[in-house]
Structures are given as structure tokens and as C-alpha cells.
Structure 1
Amino acid sequence: MGKSRMRRFKRPHFSPTGDCEVEGTAANGTEEEEEDNGLVTELLEKLQHPSADVREFACVGLARLAQQPQVFPVLLRGDALRQLGPLLLDPSVQVRETAAGVLRNLSACGGFDVCDDMVTKDIMTPLVALLKECSAGLDSNEMSPQDAKDQNRSSFENLANEAVNVLWNICECSSKAVSIFNKEGCLESILKFLSRFSTNVDLAISVAYCLQIVTEDNPELLKSFNDAGLHVLESAMLLPVNSMEYILLKTLVAGTVWNLKNVIPSKSQAEIINALLKVLSETLEIDAGETVVQMKVAETQRLKTASETEEILENVSSGTVIESEEMEEIPHKRKARQKTFISDLLPLTDKELRETTALLSAQQTALEIIVNMCYSEDPSDDEWEELSSSDEGDAFMETSFNDCGGQLLSPLCLSHEVHTALTHYLIPEKIIGKTAFPNNIAVDMCSKNPTWKPLIRKMNTIQCRALVCLQSLMSFLDVDHLGGAPALQKLAQHFSHLLFSQPDVTKHTDFFEAISSALRALLQTMASKNISQCMTPDQLMTLCKAGICNSNTRVRVNVVSILGITGSVLAKEDGTLETLKTIGCFLLEVATKDPSVVVAGEALDALFDVFADGKEAERASLQIKLLSALKEFQPVFKMKMQKEGRDKCSPEQLCVLNNVKTNLRRFITYQETVEKKY
């Protein structure tokens, strides 16, 4: 049977570029939509205006509207892409930058269809030309006088940042865009931008995100990396940290370096992999919840100080008398700041929020990189594989996968160097730490502030990613490297706390899927090593009854697999008859009534494992009339496979289902021998 389910994270399906106003847009009324449509039409007309200021104004307006999904059809019907493309090479630098901003928001918020349309409408041609022009501009800028040099550098880097974000978003969604990236030699330009990491971390982060996308599964591009390019990456990965944004940059570059592992000279691989995992370890070591609290407190204090300063300045400008004691508290301020506006006293951006967001993004990225390290290929393109579960079962259950090409699961690709570095830097322990619920104080602080509230979702995502990552690590690390039997039992208690300590936790599908996958992997590992389980059958039945009602097929597959693993352990123990009967009846009901043939196949697989051996299992199977139920269901299962399998299942799932069908026939024969014994 298939024995585990594995996930390899591909590139994310959205870019954290542009603040897409996705939530709540459905509530917009018809009048608002008509008003937006009229505004889009008006702004598109202004893109051709002879005045650069008018063109810039139009781009700024379109950039705002491009964050609203309901406006996409109007923009695309209005042929906005064909009009915006040439503006990337407009004589006005401001128009170029704002036009790139429109495309950045469109590509970030529009998804695959919009990005495909961008490639079809040939956005890549002016975009590539703009990137090369920015690169050349930075070169010529080195020879400029100092004042002009600083101004030109800033203009070229800002423009490059917008252009790289557009490139990143499009390549994220379009393989054709990645091919154009390779063909046009964009690598040289963006590596030059990355080399500015010490002076422009924003640009470097955008490039690092883009590089992580274009270097994944792209052997053609990997050939283009020379020693100079690898040196830029190495320098960025080893740079000293002076902000959370540098942590994000180092983590992203580490992901790119992992994608390049096949072109790194063998003599350097051990050193590079060690450095890479050191970066990931340092990223995961930071307490994100505590950082959120500290940064929010710092922001509150800064805003309070700014507000007090503004009040003082208003008193001064309005002629309010300030007592001498107050004057002593603010020496020299009156003369220096009489003409200063409060906006001049505040930073251009919310530094604390940016720093915190950067840390959370870095930790999510680090966890995803570690998952990708575990598997060299992903046959289902970033989908969970609903494969059968347990290693437990009698000899009659074992069968070859030759008819399926000899292999169901992605091969493990961990080298000795990676394995050693993972354990040396205590990465499993740090990942376990990230599986806890987000800090209550941090969540409470964020929930009270609209600009910080999105961080709650980011913290929850990190928890889910950590659970997925932990599941992957349990697939290949030895029990000793996970801390031995006591550590696994403690981890089971931790999972129990996560599942049962908070109400309605099973209604959060992403979390439920992640923890049920991790629990499944943990119980399977413990069963294979004869480590006693800490969760009671009653707890697991409660979990499974909640899970089987979930609309997510992956959750349902997990919970029936968990019961199969638990039941196969109990079948070898005395005094478990009633529990085995309960488990058997539950799995039979799932197999015969679940609408998904994949879940039905997993339930059958679990039944095979539970009732494959043991006196208690034999007695239980007789009392629940397992044989007659399976004989009756056998033709129904074959029919479900014929009707649903080809259309709704991946090749890997079909292979497993065919295996289940074969084993169902064998299991029925085995159960007939059991009945004869009694």
C-alpha cells in the first residue's frame, strides 16, 4: 500500500507585493462598480495624454484600482496591458515607475489568468528592456558626479524594484515568462541589483524572491550561473544582520542556493549546505510572538512621542505661551522646528510593521525550504497526495508497484551533509516550537489594529507550515535524531493539547489538515518502532468523528489513516475487542458512504491493517460481519473507481486505488479463512 503522504512546497500562489483588496470586495454595490468602471475608462484614456504629469496621474489611479479584483475585467477589456507596456519605456522616469506599479499590482492580485494575459500581450518585451536599461544606468551612474550619482542611483533602483516585482509575479504564474527570462539573459541584470544588498535591501529582497522562483526546476538557467553569480549569492547569504529585513533576504537567498545545489562544485557543497542551514536555523530561532509584541509596543511609543511633539509644535505656531519648565524640557526645539510639519517627523513607512512582516515571511520561507529539501520531485504539483497509509499488515497484503512504474513517492534526496546539519543546528526542535499556537498577547495586540491584523493570519500560516515540515522530517529522520521515544511521546501529548485545548479547532481546515497530517506521520513512526502511544482511543475517535465531517478530502484521508494505524496496534493487544469493533464499524461506514473514492480506498486500506492479524481482530471482524459487508461493497467500489477514478484522481492516486482493489480481493479470501476457523 502507499505508506505516507508528502508535500513539497512549490512557489507560493500569490506575491506579497501590492496590498490586494481581496476581502470584502463582494459587498461593493452596483453603483460603486459603475463608478469604478467609469473611472477606469477615463484613466485609460489619459495614458496617451501628451503631458507626462497627466500620464503619471493616470497610472497612480490605475495602480489603486488594480488592487480590486472586480476591476480586472474592465482593465483587461479596455486593453490596458497594451497601453501600459510602452509606458515602461516612457521618456518620463516617473511615468515608467508608476506604470510598473500598475502592472505590479495587476500581476500580484490578478493571479494566473492575468499574468498569462500579460505574457500574451507581450509585456515581457518592454519589461526586459526596462530591466536592462536600469542595469546599464547603474553602471553609467558609477561615473557620474556625486550629487547626480546619488539622485540617479535612487531613480534607477526604485524603477528596478518595481520592474523586478512585475517580473517576479509574472514568472511565478507563467512558465512561458520563465522561458523568456532565460532566453533574454535577465539573470545578469537582476544579479547586479542583488549586489546592492548593502545599500538597498528592498530591491535585494525583491530580486531574491524573483530568483527563488526562476531557479526552481529550471536546469537551463542553472547553466548560466558562473562563479561571479554564485559569489553574489554567497555574500548576501553571509551578510551580517542588522534588521529583520536582512533576515528575510538571507533566508530567500538560502532558498535560491538550495535550488542551485546541482551546480555548486562538489568540494564546496558541504560548506555551502552548512551555511544555508545555519541561516535557516537562525531564522527559526527568533520568537516571532515576542517580536510582534516588542515591535507593537515600540510603534505605540513612537506614535505617542510624535503626537506629543505635534501638540507642542501646534502650541508654538498658534502663539500659545509655554511655561519656562516646559521650555527646559524641549531646549532649542522652538527655533529649529517652528516651520516643521508633523509628517516630516514621522518615518515614510511603518518600520515596526515592515520589520515584523519581514520576520514572519522569513520564517514561513525557511519552513518551506526545509520541506523542499526532503523531496527531490513533486509528482502532484504542490498537491497533497492522498496515498494509503500504514506499513502495518500481513504478508498477504504486500504487493509490487511494478504496474505503476515501480515508484509512488518522491525519492528522499537528503545527503549526509544536510542530515548532519539539520540535527547539528537543532532544527527539528525549533520546528516543533513553531507548531504551538501564536502568542495570545501578540494576537490580541494585532486584532485591535487594522494594519497589524493581517499578521494574525501570517502567524497561523507559520504554525501550519511547521506542522507540515515536522511531518516531512518524521518521514526520514531516525527516531534518535528526533529525540528518542520520550520526545515522540511528548510530541504526541503536544499534538493532543493543540487538538483539544481550544474550542472549534477542527473547523479551521488549514490547521486541521496540517496537524492531522503530522499526527498521522507521528503515530506511524511510533507504531513502526513499538513506542506506546499517549493519545487514548477515545481521543482519537473524537478526532476522527470530527474530521470525517470535514469537506476537505485530505483531512478525511488523514483521520481514517490515523484510525488504521491505531487499530493495527490495538489488534496485537489483549482486551481491545470493543475498541476494535468501534473502529471497524467506523471505517466500514466511511468506506461505503464517503463520496470520495480516494477516502473510501483509504478506509479500506485502514480496515486491512486493523484486521490483518491478531485474535482480538479476528473476533471483532466476525462480530461486525466484516466479510459480508466487504463482499457486498466490492462491486460497488470497482464501479466507483471506473466512474470517478479516471476523471477525479491523479495517476498516483489511481495506482494506489488499483492496489487497494487487488488487496480487497485478497483480504476477502483471508477473512473467509478466519470464518472457517471459528
Structure 2
Amino acid sequence: MGKSKTTKFKRPQFNSVGLPVNAVKEEDPAEEDHDEDDCPAAELLEKLQSPSADVREFACASISRVVQQSQTIPGFLQRGAVKRLGPLLLDGSLAVRETAAGALRNLSACGGQEVCEDMVKHDVMTPLTALLRECCAGFDNAVVTMTDQNNPVENVAHEAVNLLWNLCESSSQALSLFNKSGLFDVVVQCLERHPHNVELAISAAHCLHTVTEDNPELLRSANAAVLGALENVLLSTQPDMARALLRALAAGTLWNMKNSIPAARQSQTLDAVVATLSRCLDLDAGVLIPELRRAEEANRRDAVPDVKEQVAGDLAEEEMDEEENEGPKKAGNGKTVKIDTDFSDLLPRGKEELREATALLTAQQTSLEIIVNMCCSDDPSDDEWEEESSSDESDTGPDALCDGLSSLMSPLCLSAEVQGALIKHSIPEKVLKKTNFPRQEALSVCHPDPCWRGLTKRMQRVQSRALTCLHSILSTMDAESLGGATALQEAAQHLSSLVFGAEDIPKDVEFLEAVISAMRSLLQMIASKNIPQCMTPQQLMRLSEAATRCEVISVRVNAVSILGITGSTLAKEKNTADFLQMIGNALLQVATKDADLVVNGEALDALFDVFADGEEAELAARNIGLLPALKALQPVFKAKIRKEGRGKCGPQQLCVLDNIKTNLRRFISYLEKVVKK
């Protein structure tokens, strides 16, 4: 597998303290009852010009709420919402600054990449940069009226940093402006507020984790103060889950910055990064989440129901329903965009246990994603074929095509230092353990409460990330480093139980994609060491059938590869012809009928492996009529490459497909000789 970039999820959120109560109270009471449809963009945008700070604040907060319905966003953009909200980032009222930043933050989060680029085009970065600089200069001078209240300047900075994070994640122009405007040091200052304001520090850490990825221009400006601030976060020892998330994000940022770290400190920093991730994975969410849920129940038994809590619960249910009904969204480039429905900022301050649980799961998901990046090279893999297929390479010559073959087929490599650190801190074992998450008890305690029910998807995502991480580890380490034959067989049995433990194979695409990738890597390693396979013929066929119905190309590619790996192993054994016939028929079906050219090619490649040699393979090939079937398929496959390949496939894909086309001709010649025996 090629480099798997850390997946970020932009989240539609209110500002962290909910709607400003005093602004709502001083508005016309009738307006409080207005439905969102009765509060048009033009009216709200007009209120932004009011001489009353309370009215401006209320208008910003209302826009924050309304734009969470994505269909309302065009109306705001057409009326110049960004140009009107931008100046309010420097309003004389801190409350207006905060709610204006929150409105722009939600606009960026709910509007996606195109809206973020439009916001940058309308120069939102200029007032945002000035706002963040003013916030950092005023952190220590802000007046806090009550001991249990947050610093108001930090509240503004929290919203502003989240907006900056969204923009830099979605807009290359925003990232370029970030690099040139000296915002790196400003965001690091926000990170350094972690002893006093962990929410602000986490937002800053998310932002730093984003902007430091694949950004050599920025990393050239990294200095000892930046590295020191990140290392100080790693050395913090507070046991709460928010700090665990903060440490994980700091570890990921340091990994992104590894080439900027002085050589004399690289080994020590690497060990600290992996140790941090290891400690995060040690946290048992299956135990901690039920404990947090029970603690919340105990705390609220005698409490008066909170209206905002009900709103948060309703929103959680709506978002889950929307996610289930609509499925993954598509970005403009055709790639699937995974959307995370995090409603944690909507929660009233009393929902601390839920915040802790959310932070725990985010920390573990982030840690697993960082380990994936540590294991993976920059080479594309079969899993990423479909991601490259959008480029038009129709003018590329054959020599250039084949130049890419070596990089596509080259094995992944893991430096001795990284591998040593991962093994030292027992990362492979801990990752395998995480693939068994979530526990039923954790799911059961979350289900009754709408707010907590939203954690179910997060728990499932941790499992999927663990499976992806296991796949990366298996792809980059040798069998001995992973515990030898016994450990590999136990891992194979475990993965089989995840897939076949229930009556039906799970249909969740994210899980299926992750588990089948891990199974493929594991079975390849097992086959290379001549370790007995553990999947039964019935299980293999069930997996193949489930995968062929999946829309995700990489799932179908990996399923076909698993058939090829298993079949080539069985071809060396006695009395396996019947099983080989089942595999051969399944592969022929995919090679002939799958709509995707890459999957067709993978199925043919698997057929070559299964029926390349051996008496059992020869018998099975005759019984299923493999030779006439491939002869009939050959011109169809060649024509499909001519018609579809140049328009849909990248150069490396085309090179591999041309290679398969050549091997198909040679394999047909081989089968003709076998028939003449």
C-alpha cells in the first residue's frame, strides 16, 4: 500500500459556548421563534451592519446556525457574506469577533473545498491573520471576570484557529498564505496555552498537524522554539483524554517535521513520538467509555434537563440519519470525501464525560493514522489505482509508461530506526488488539442516548483505522519481527473471526475495505513462508461474493488478490482440484464481467498465479474450460485497454495493464502446450 495520508474530517459546529444568550434576549422576542426559513440571508447580513454590538453578535450566531444546512450557503455567498463577515473579525466587541469567526468557521466546514477557496479569494485571510496576531498579543492581558470562565481572547482565538485549520486543509492558496504570513509561530503560541486552555491548544494542534504535512516550504522556517513547544506537549503528564488527544496531535506534527529536527535529536524524538502513540493505544476505550457513561448518569440524575442538551441530541440523530441515507460525498475531483459528524462543540459545558469519550476516540484514531504514515512510502499501490485514474495520460508514450512499473511494483521499505521503535513499544501487538474494538458493552451503553449514540461510528472508525494500520505493518515488516508463524496464524484466525463471526459479512464499506486489505497482506506473508492457510473454501467464496458487490474498487481488487494467493498455494497441494475450480470460476467471472478495467486485470493476474503449474491446477483448468474462456476474453480485454485505458488510467496503471495483456498471450500459449500433453 502506498502512503496513506492522515484523514481529516471537517466538522460542522456551533461556537463552543452555544448561542450568545444575552444577544438573543435583547432581540425582538418574536424572532426567537422564527424558523430558519423565515430568517433569510439578506436580513441576517443586513443586521451585521447594525450599530448595536448585540445585534451584530446575534446575526453572526444566527448565520452560524443557518449555514449548517448546506443548501442555505449559496444564498449567503451570493449576497457577499464573506466580505461582510470578514471585517467583523476585527470588530470592537470581542463577542462579535468570536461569533463572526464562528460563522465563517461553519461556513468553511459545511461549504467544503469550493467555499473555502472562495473565502480565500475574497481575502478572508487578511483580517484572520490580523485577528490571530492580536489575540496572541492579548492572551495575558485579557480580563477574566470569574474564576471558572475562559479567557475571552482565547475563546476568540479558538474559533479563529479552527477557521484557519479548515481553510488550510481545503485551499492550497490559504496554505501558501499561511507559509508566507508567519502564522506558524502564531499558532504555536496558541498551542502553548495548553496548561490553561486545552480546547484552544487542541485546535492549534489540529491546525499544525494539517499544515506541516508535505509542506517543505513551511518546515524550512521551523526553529528550536517550535520543536521545543511540541516536545513540551509530549512531555505533559495530565491523564485526561483531551491531553491524550493533544499529545497524539503533537506527535503527528513532530513526525511531519522529522526532516527539520537536528540529526543529533532525531532518534530521541522518534522514540518519544512512538512512545506517545503507544501510550494512547494502551487506553482501553472499551472500559473507559462505559465508565464515563455511568459517571455522566450519576452526575445528572437529579439535574434539570438542559434544552441545549436536547438540541445536541436531536442534531446527533439528524446527522447520523443523513450520513446513513446519503453515504459518502464526492468532491469535485471524483474522490470520496469522508465527512465526520462531530457535534461535540454543540454540547453544553455539563457534557464533560462525552467530551472526554470523544477526545479518547479521536486520539486513538489519530494515533493509528500516524502509524500508517510512519509505515508507508510514497509509492502508489493497487489500493490507490482508482485515485490516479482521473488524470489524462493519453499522450504518454510506451517507454514512459513502463518507466513507472518499477516504482509501482517496488516493495515498501521501513527504516531500521522506525521499525525498531515500533517493535520496542509493542505497536504491532497493540494495533492488532485495537482491531477487536469496539466492545459490545461500549456500544450498548452509548445506544440509548442520542448524544452518545454518535460515538458508535467513531468506535467503528477506530477499528477500521486499526485494520488499515495492521495492513501497513504487515506490508513493511518481516514475519520474524511480527512474532513468526504462530503469531501470524493467530492473526489470520482473528481477522477471519472479524469477517465471518457473524451470520453475514459486514456491509460497512470502510470496515470491509480495511479488513480485506489487512487479510491480503497477511495471506501474502503466510504464503511466502509456506505457513498453512486458515480460510475454508466456503469462507473464501463468501468473502469473494461480498467483495464483488462492493462499489469500492480497492475492495474488489484485494478480494481477487486473496483468491489468487490462496489458489496458488493450494495448487501445490494434493486433491485440491475441486477448490481450484471454484476459485477459477470466480476469477473468470470477475475478469469477464466486472465493469472496472483494473479489476479485470487483477483477476487475470490472479488466474496466472493459480493455474501456472501443477497437476491439480492442470486438472482444474481443463474442467472449467480455462483455455477457451481466456481465448474468448483476450480480444475483449485488449479492446477495453484501447478504449478505456488511455482515458481513465494513469501511466503506471497502463504499464501494469499492458504487462498483463502480454502475460495473457503467453499464458494462453502455455495452456495450449498443456492440452497437447
Could you state the TM-score of these two structures normalised by the residue count of structure 1?
A: 0.85
* Partner SS state of residue 506, structure 1: coil
- Equivalent residue number for residue 337 of structure 2: none
* Alpha-carbon separation, structure 1, partners of 2:640 and 2:497: 38
Counterpart residue type for residue 8 of structure 1: S
Q: How does 1:300-311 map to 2 (within 5 A)?
A: 300-306=297-303
Q: CA deviation at 1:149?
A: 12
What is the CA deviation profile of residues 629-660 of structure 1, one whole-angstrom value per residue up to 9, with x for unaligned ones?
11211111111112222333333322321221
Tell me what 1:178 maps to: 175
Structure 1 residues 63, 410: CA separation in 2 closer, same or farther (over 3 Å shift)?
farther
Structure 2 distance, partners of 1:98, 1:19, is 7
Aligned to 1:660: 660
Output the amino acid matched with 2:45.
L
Q: Letter of the aligned partner of 1:303 in structure 2?
A: R
Tell me: CA distance 1:410–1:260, structure 2 relative to 1, closer, same or farther (3 Å). Answer: farther
- Equivalence map 1:112-123=2 (5 Å): 112-123=113-124
Q: Which residue of 2 aligns with 1:222?
A: 219
C-alpha displacement of 1:37: 6.6
Is structure 2 residue 188 aligned with structure 1 residue 191?
A: yes
Q: Distance in 2 between matches of 1:200 and 1:192?
A: 12
Q: Which residue of 1 aligns with 2:110?
A: 109
Query: One-letter code of the match for 2:37?
Result: D
Does the Cα contact within 8 Å between 2:36 and 2:66 map onto a contact in 1? no
Look up the match of 1:393.
none
The Cα RMSD (Å) is 2.6
Within-5 A mapping of 1:435-584: 435-584=435-584
Equivalent positions of 1:65-76 (< 5 A) are 65-76=66-77
User: Are the counterparts in 2 of residues 437 and 498 from structure 1 also a CA contact under 8 Å?
Assistant: no
Match for 1:365: what amino acid? T
Query: Do the aligned partners of 2:405 and 2:652 also contact (CA within 8 Å) in 1?
Result: no
CA distance in 1, matches of 2:245, 2:440: 24
Give the distance between the partners of 1:347 and 1:542, measured in 2 at CA: 46
Deviation by residue 1:454-491 (Cα, 9 ceiling, x = unmatched): 10000000010100100000011121221211111111
Question: One-letter code of the match for 1:214?
Answer: V
Distance of aligned partners of 1:584 and 1:405 in 2 relative to their CA distance in 1, 3 Å threshold: closer
Cα distance change on mapping 1:242 and 1:533 into 2, 3 Å: same
1:115/1:170 contact within 8 Å kept: yes
Describe the SS at the equivalent of 1:507.
coil
Matched, 1:213 2:210: yes
Q: Is the 8 A contact 2:401 2:651 kept in 1?
A: no
AA in 2 matched with 1:163: A
Structure 1 residues 347, 634: closer, same or farther in 2, change over 3 A? closer
Instruction: Render the CA deviation track for 1:51-74: whole Å, top value 9, x for unaligned.
Output: 111111100111111211121122
1:242-281 to 2 correspondences below 5 Å: 242-281=239-278
Report how far residue 150 of structure 1 moved: 8.6
Residues 149 and 444 of structure 1, relative CA distance in 2, 3 Å threshold: closer
CA distance in 2: counterparts of 1:275 and 1:169, whole angstroms: 28
Equivalent residues in 2 for 1:122-521 (5 A)?
122-138=123-139, 141=141, 154-306=151-303, 348-377=349-378, 379=380, 384-385=384-385, 402-404=402-404, 406-408=406-408, 412=412, 414-521=414-521
* Aligned 8 A contact 2:3 2:380 in 1: no
CA contact (8 A) 2:574 2:616 kept: yes
* Structure 1: 5+ residue stretches without partners: 21-31, 309-345, 388-399
Residue 645 in 1 paired to residue 645 in 2?
yes
Opposite residue 9 of structure 1, the aligned amino acid is K
The residue type equivalent to 1:419 in the other structure is Q
* Contact 2:523 2:533 survives alignment (8 Å): yes
DSSP 3-state at the match of 1:601:
helix
d(CA) in 1 for partners of 2:15, 2:593: 44
User: 1:24: which partner in 2?
Assistant: none
- Give distance in 2, aligned partners of 1:429 and 1:466: 11
Deviation at 1:615, TM superposition (A): 1.5
Are the counterparts in 1 of residues 383 and 554 from structure 2 also a CA contact under 8 Å?
no
Structure 1 residues 151, 610: CA separation in 2 closer, same or farther (over 3 Å shift)?
closer
Q: 1:549-584: per-residue Cα shift (whole Å, max 9, x none)?
A: 222222211111110000000111111111111111
User: Residue type of the partner of 1:64?
Assistant: R
Aligned-partner Cα distance in 1 for 2:384–2:403: 22
Render the CA deviation track for 1:297-333: whole Å, top value 9, x for unaligned: 000000014359xxxxxxxxxxxxxxxxxxxxxxxxx
Match in the other structure for 1:329: none
Structure 2 counterparts to residues 619-638 of structure 1, below 5 A = 619-638=619-638
1:12 aligns with 2:13: no
Q: What amino acid is aligned across from residue 259 of structure 1 in structure 2?
A: N
Q: Which residue of 2 aligns with 1:45?
A: 46
Q: What is the deviation of 1:622? A: 2.1
Offset of residue 138 of structure 1: 2.8
Distance 1:485 1:621, change over 3 A: same
CA distance in 2, matches of 1:170, 1:430: 34
For 1:157 and 1:119, locate their aligned partners in 2 and report how far apart those are by CA, in whole Å.
24
- The residue that corresponds to 1:333 in the other structure is none
Moved more, 240-249 or 361-370: 240-249
Q: Does structure 2 retain, via aligned residues, the 8 Å contact 1:6–1:385?
A: no
Q: Which moved more, 1:469-478 or 1:550-559?
A: 550-559
**How many Å separate the matches in 2 of 1:425 and 1:467?**
18
- Structure whose alpha-carbon radius of gyration is higher: 1
Answer whether contact 2:361 2:458 (CA < 8 A) is retained. Answer: yes
* Contact in 2 for aligned 1:288/1:359 (Cα 8 Å): yes
Paired amino acid for 1:222: L
- Could you tell me how far apart the structure 2 residues matched to 1:418 and 1:676 are? 53
Which secondary structure does the structure 1 equivalent of 2:239 belong to?
coil
Q: Which amino acid aligns with 2:585?
A: C
Letter in 1 for 2:61: V
SS at match of 2:195: coil
1:385 Cα deviation from its structure 2 partner? 3.4
CA distance in structure 2 between the partners assigned to 1:409 and 1:12 by the alignment: 28
CA distance in structure 2 between the aligned counterparts of 1:347 and 1:133, rounded to whole angstroms? 28
- Indicate if the aligned counterparts of 1:517 and 1:558 stay in contact, CA closer than 8 A: yes
Is contact 2:14-2:65 (8 Å) kept?
no
Is 2:443–2:456's contact at 8 Å kept on the other side of the alignment?
yes
Residue 593 of structure 1, CA deviation: 0.9
CA contact (8 A) 2:402 2:655 kept: no
CA shift at 1:347, angstroms? 7.6
If the length of structure 2 is used for normalisation, what is the TM-score?
0.86
Residues 35/207 of structure 1: CA separation in 2 closer, same or farther (3 Å cut): closer
Deviations 1:411-438 (A, max 9, x none): 7453222111111111111111111141
Does 1:614 pair with 2:610? Answer: no
- 1:173 deviates by 0.6
Counterpart Cα distance in 2 of 1:505 and 1:627? 33
Taking the aligned partners of 1:54 and 1:33, their CA distance within structure 2 comes to 16
| CA–CA separation in structure 2 for the residues paired with 1:443 and 1:111 | 31
Measured after TM superposition, the shift of residue 42 of structure 1 is 1.3
Q: Structure 1 residues 633, 411: CA separation in 2 closer, same or farther (over 3 Å shift)?
A: closer
Distance 1:16 1:88 in 2: 19
How far residue 40 of structure 1 moved from its aligned partner, in angstroms, is 2.5
CA gap of 1:482–1:54, structure 2 versus 1, over 3 A, is same
Distance 1:147 1:549 in 2: 59
SS at structure 2 position matched to 1:482: coil
Tell me how many residue pairs correspond in the alignment. Answer: 609
* Cα distance change on mapping 1:418 and 1:536 into 2, 3 Å: same
What is the alpha-carbon distance in structure 1 between the residues aligned to residue 380 and residue 186 of structure 2?
A: 33
Query: Residues of 2 paired with 1:461 and 1:672: CA distance?
Result: 49
CA, structure 1 residues 209+405, in 2 after alignment: closer, same or farther (shift >3 Å)? Answer: same
CA contact (8 A) 1:368 1:465 kept: yes
Counterpart of 1:406 in 2: which secondary structure?
helix
- Alpha-carbon spacing, 1:259–1:118, altered in 2? closer, same or farther (3 Å): same
